[in-house]
Amino acid sequence: MENVAWIEEIRTQATRDIELADGEPALEEIRVRYLGRSGRITRAFRDVAAAPAEERPRLGQAINQLKDYVELALARRREVLGQAARATLAAAERIDVTLPGRPLAHGRAHVLARTAREITEIFRGMGFDVEDGPEIESDHDNFERLNIPPYHPARDAQDSFYIDNTWLLRPHTTVVDVHVMDGRRPPMRAVTSGHCYRRDPVDASHSPMFQQIDGFMVDDGVRLADLKGVLYEFARGYFGAETRVRFVPSYFPFTEPSAGMDIGCVICGGRGCAVCKRSGWLEILGCGMFHPRVLEMARIDPERYTAFAFGIGLERCAMLKHRIDDIRLFYEGDVRFLRQV
Amino acid sequence: MRVPREWLEAYVDLGDVSTQTLVERLATAGFPVDAVEQQGDDAVLDVEVTSNRPDCLSIIGIAREAALLFGRALRLPEGLERAGGVRAVRTPRSASRAGAPSRRGRGRSVQAAKGGPRPAGGVRARISITVEDSEGCPRFTATVFDDVRAGPSPVWMQRRLEAAGVRAINNVVDVTNYVMLEMGQPMHAFDLARVGGRRLIVRRARPGETLVTLDGVTRTVDEQSLVVADATHAVALAGVIGGQDTEIGPQTTAVLLEAAYWFPPGVGRTSRRLGLRTEASSRFERGADPDGPILAQRRADLLLADVAGARLVPGVIDLYPRPLPRAAIRLRPRRAAAVLGVEVPRREMVRILRALGCDVRPGAASLAVRPPTNRPDLTREEDLIEEVIRVYGYDRVPLTMPRGTTTPGRVSVPVAGERRVREALIRSGLTEVMTLTLVAAEPPAAPAGGGPNGAGSIVAAAGDVRLTNPLTVEHAALRRSVLPGLLRVLATNASRRQQDVHVFELGRVWRAGEPGGRPDERRAAGIALMGRWRWGWNVPADSAVADFYHLRAVVDALVQDLGVAGELAVRSSTSYLLHGAAWWHPGRVAVATVAGREVGRLGELHPDLVDRERLPYRPCVAELDLDLLLEAAGPIRTYAGLPRYPEVDRDLAVVLPETLAAAEIERLIRSTAGPLLETVELFDVYAGSPVPAGHRNLAYRLRFRAPDRTLTAAEAEEIMAEIRTALEDQAGGRLRT
């Protein structure tokens, strides 16, 4: 096919223009100049109409080829330019990724709230309902219902704050067990956590306000062995699967037999250290089989049903697990402490 | 209880047992040893004794345990052997037991001097004893000694006493202390010459009666407390401490020795009332051995003769009109196995109980057990089961899981509600704190009207729940609000250069109820925001500091998170007081209501408080009534569908008087627009030129949508025109274009 000189001229010109284009605006300008409504190639199509009839097909085909050629060249050039631009993107828009992040306010539950939740969930998994009770109790419910008559020496260990002759700040959460027993019939299992108060002057290991987790189970055929099994699962669940436990006799007026549960010292692994007073063991809870009097007062027949109960020191558990050496830290609200544990 | 090994080994042979083994074995039987103190070549064990074991507040008590645990024989000293263990209280020396006072009937007053045969020159010729309250003093024994040479006691006795933590005083007092430490029965020695009228009366104290006790303190005794008195006045506080008047001194030649059994709660009451805890009171209030007095008298007789050359005046006065009943308990081995989950062999049960001093008669299905008199704690079958397993070993009880079906535990409504609130506030970025609920009792507020019920009256202090027996003035009442505790948290952190503090607390607050009634206890949530909030480099500090609107967003998010039924409304509050004191910024405090009920207040702290607490920023705080909020909370949210047709957004700017609350404007826009208006988003608030003074320009983006078709621009424009008209006509707004 014979080349048409003026068409070739356009081709050469367009090729040069495209090669010289240095960016999208220039390419767009070239596209308009050649392919736009009044671009040279668009106009060339109109010129075809003026050509002799026998030349029109050949001329039209040539211009179409030119059009395709220019479109392709534009596209190629655009691609080349795009690659070049991305090649400089890293340099042009680089940020210092090592600058500190813009802090989100990252909320956190209090370590004791998390501990209480974790422990109550362990018991919930063993069928214990999670209950709640008031922090002000009557002397009758708090002491007499738990087999602690007035002037009983056991009241010393639970030296309480009184509001008047009737009402006091509960010195233990065991009293919640009494309320739960009053509202239900056996079998029942429940656990509760909350504030308790005792007249202990503030020091590194005492606070007039502290928290306990208390639980109990009433059913026919509940045995001390079951208490041991349930509390062993708690110790393993909270302190780790390797935790060793031992049960030693203790005394609570509302349980008989009574026991204390020790765990192998989490600090020294049982070799003996200052925290465990060289014994290798740490006492973490008191427990026992509910005294028959306590069941009788709740109108539960102790010959038919037996029951166990336990009380765990919440701060003690959290202090051992998180290596916190001063109970006051829990209630002071220093945000640096709260973020660490 | 301090137990010197050397003394312990006087009663049980432990020569081959190391102190460490002894300590470990005692601990497994319920006697943890707090410390072992080396004293010369002796080791002193500090044994922790639970309050149900008064018998072990004695060396022999611990020796009995040790003998049982190591399978050794217990060697009782002369005078303390119990024939059969039951009523071996009749010592040959006490030939003249008070003329069978138990047959004297129900009379509460027992007078020894009048009853029974009376050998000439016997103890009864020297002293007369009257017990006016035989309930408070079920048993009282007395002996008299002549030719006493008061002076220091022998070195061996002093050494043992001091190792056990009791100061040696003189041979007579030392013997009473020695006997107490050895076998657990407190005794008291009087200088007989100084006992007025040669008589002792056990009676209730007289109104306002005082006594100078051995520690030199003048004490006023209340009328419910028992005293031991001579003819004229009290000479000892029953079961607690002796008086100075009749103290043994160098001039003493005749000694009256008292040993009694006191009603435990009576001693406990007196001791607490006086705030005086003594070796004697701590033993009596736990319940001593009713047969202890007579055994102690026998033992003291031997020792006094030995160390003070004393000569017993023949006879022992023993007033014990109604011997205390001894428990008779049926122990069913099957019951023991059912309670324990382990079968302890019967012969093992029998061995253990007998070694503890019980009479045991094995029967077909049960053991008939009578505990010894020194074990008042053993009254029921369960008590014996504990004794058996305590010695047999808790470690021999297997670990089992409860039998029967286990269903997953349920979380009660209040606990679940609190968990939801905690999680919602944490998601808002707050850190949870817990503060002491005990606060300083606020001084009674000045009476408003100065009426007759004025200052210091109940009215003035109304609302506060105060403690009757606080430890310190800082912890003398229960908090009525969580906010003061949160303010303290802010101040504590600020003083430690922690200036960005965003915290919340969930807890209870109290208010006095009806007089004598249960105080009102409610759950509250407190929120405190101070300092920069979502801050970072290049973020201008003034736009990062938490303000009222950040706080409001936290409250909004909480209410939304709880799915509270009813709309949360926040309106400005006219009151800026908390418990009568300026707390809030008077222009920046609001009341929050849900469905018309007030659920809390929120606002900026009063600038005076900010200054007083030296806070680096003005914090914003809120307190919400959780009980009300959770009452309105919805348990389950339901899916409402996603919009199916496109929205039309239109912007609107209007200049309005500053006094017109934004909430009012939004309400007007919404009510005018009707249901096709989906959201109203305020995106700009501007005051200043060219907006006229006292006015502000508010810019909103309104989003319109129809649920069932594509809304046209024309429809949206029509609604916009109505809104503009309403703003102009009803709110005096000027629209900006």
Give tens-digit pLDDT for A269-286.
888 888 888 888 999 999
CB contact under 8 A, B518 and A131: no
Residue B461 in this model has a pLDDT that exceeds 70: no
Residue B454 in this model has a pLDDT that exceeds 60: no
Coil/strand/helix, residue B386: helix
Interface test with B, best of A137, A224, A226, A314 (most B CBs within 10 A): A224
Report the percent of chain B where pLDDT is more than 90.
79
What is the pLDDT at residue B104?
36
Q: Closest-CA residue in chain B for A99?
A: B537
Question: Any chain A CB within 8 A of the CB of B50?
Answer: yes
Question: What's the rounded mean pLDDT across residues B456-477?
Answer: 74
Q: Which residues of A276-315 are buried (b: 16+ CB within 10 A; e: fewer)?
A: beebbbbbbbbbbbbbbbbbebbebebeebbbbbbbbbbb
Q: What is the mean pLDDT of chain B?
A: 89
Q: Outline where DSSP puts E strands in chain A.
A: 129-131, 136-138, 167-169, 188-197, 209-219, 245-249, 255-264, 281-290, 306-313
- In this complex, the residue of B340, B412, B534 whose CB is nearest that of residue A105 is B534
Question: Any chain B CB within 8 A of the CB of A163?
Answer: yes
Among the listed residues A205, A199, A202, the one whose alpha carbon sits nearest the alpha carbon of residue A327: A205
CB contact residues (below 8 A), chain A span 91-130, against chain B:
99-110, 112-113, 117, 123-130
Residue pLDDT, tens place only, A299-309: 999 999 999 99
Residue B42 in this model has a pLDDT that exceeds 60: yes
Question: Any chain B CB within 8 A of the CB of A310?
Answer: no
Question: What's the rounded mean pLDDT across residues B506-529?
Answer: 94
More confident site: B159 or A22: B159
Q: Closest-CA residue in chain A for B275?
A: A156
- In this complex, the residue of A107, A208, A222 whose CB is nearest that of residue B475 is A208
Nearest Cα of chain B lies from the Cα of A244 at a distance, in angstroms, of: 12
Helical packing angle, A40-50 and A56-92, nearest 10°: 180
What is the pLDDT at residue B684?
92
Q: 10 Å Cβ neighbour count for B511?
A: 15
Report the percent of chain B where pLDDT is more than 70.
92
Interface test with B, best of A338, A339, A340 (most B CBs within 10 A): A338
CB contact under 8 A, A292 and B433: no
What is the pLDDT at residue B459?
33
Residue B121 in this model has a pLDDT that exceeds 90: no
Query: Of the given ranges (A173-182, B140-149, B323-332, B459-468), which has the lowest mean pLDDT?
Result: B459-468
Question: Any chain B CB within 8 A of the CB of A150?
Answer: yes
CB contact residues (below 8 A), chain A span 265-304, against chain B:
277, 279, 289, 291-292
Contacts of A253 in chain B (CB under 8 A): 52
Question: What's the rounded mean pLDDT across residues B406-419?
Answer: 93
- In this complex, the residue of A149, A257, A333 whose CB is nearest that of residue B390 is A257
- In this complex, the residue of A151, A248, A330 whose CB is nearest that of residue B269 is A151
Residue B491 in this model has a pLDDT that exceeds 60: yes
Sequential DSSP letters for A328-341: THHHH--HHHHHH-
Amino acid at site B111: Q
Q: What is the mean pLDDT of chain A?
A: 91
What is the pLDDT at residue B449?
37
CB contact under 8 A, B431 and A249: no
Among the listed residues B440, B730, B479, B487, the one whose alpha carbon sits nearest the alpha carbon of residue B606: B487
Residue pLDDT, tens place only, B17-30: 999 999 999 999 99
More confident site: B642 or A149: B642
Residue B129 in this model has a pLDDT that exceeds 80: yes
Rounded to an integer, what distance in angstroms lies between the CA atom of residue B419 and that of residue B633? 13
Question: What's the rounded mean pLDDT across residues B294-319?
Answer: 94
Question: Any chain A CB within 8 A of the CB of B343?
Answer: no
Query: Of the given ranges (A127-136, B350-359, B727-736), which has the lowest mean pLDDT?
Result: B727-736
Question: What's the rounded mean pLDDT across residues B154-181?
Answer: 95
What is the pLDDT at residue B600?
95
CB contact under 8 A, A251 and B53: yes
What is the pLDDT at residue B442?
66
ipTM for the whole complex: 0.85
Contacts of B618 (CB under 8 A, 6+ apart): B585, B604, B605, B607, B610
Among the listed residues B340, B56, B334, the one whose alpha carbon sits nearest the alpha carbon of residue B184: B56
Contact between residue A102 and residue B534 where contact means Cβ atoms under 8 Å apart: yes
Query: Of the given ranges (A169-183, B354-368, B457-471, B579-593), which has the lowest mean pLDDT?
Result: B457-471
Question: What's the rounded mean pLDDT across residues B113-124?
Answer: 59
Token digits of residue B50: 């639970």
What is the pLDDT at residue A2?
54
Q: Closest-CA residue in chain B for A307?
A: B339
Q: Name the percent of chain A in helix, strand, coil, to the closest 5.
A: 45, 20, 35
Contacts of B285 in chain A (CB under 8 A): 151, 153
What is the pLDDT at residue A56?
83
H helical segments located in B436-583:
458-461, 483-495, 541-544, 548-561
What is the pLDDT at residue B579?
83
Contacts of B427 in chain A (CB under 8 A): 107
At residue B443 the predicted structure's pLDDT band, cuts being 50, 70 and 90, is: low
CB contact under 8 A, B402 and A230: yes
Amino acid at site B288: A
Question: What's the rounded mean pLDDT across residues B316-324?
Answer: 94
**Cross-strand bridge partners of residue B331:** B367
- Give Rg (Cα) of chain A: 42
At residue B448 the predicted structure's pLDDT band, cuts being 50, 70 and 90, is: very low
Query: Of the given ranges (A103-117, A156-170, B474-488, B515-529), which has the lowest mean pLDDT?
Result: A156-170
Q: What is the pTM of this model?
A: 0.84
Residue B651 dihedral angles phi and psi, to the nearest 5°: -100, 155
Residue B96 in this model has a pLDDT that exceeds 70: no
Contacts of B338 in chain A (CB under 8 A): 221, 223, 306
Residue pLDDT, tens place only, B709-737: 999 999 999 999 999 999 999 998 888 75
At residue B462 the predicted structure's pLDDT band, cuts being 50, 70 and 90, is: low
CB contact under 8 A, A289 and B382: yes
**Number of inter-chain CB pairs under 8 A, A vs B:** 269
Residue pLDDT, tens place only, A19-71: 999 888 899 999 999 998 888 888 888 888 778 888 888 888 888 899 999 99
At residue B128 the predicted structure's pLDDT band, cuts being 50, 70 and 90, is: very high
Q: Which residues of A49-73 are buried (b: 16+ CB within 10 A; e: fewer)?
A: eeeeeeeeeebeebbeebbeebeeb
Question: Any chain A CB within 8 A of the CB of B28?
Answer: yes
DSSP for residue A162: B
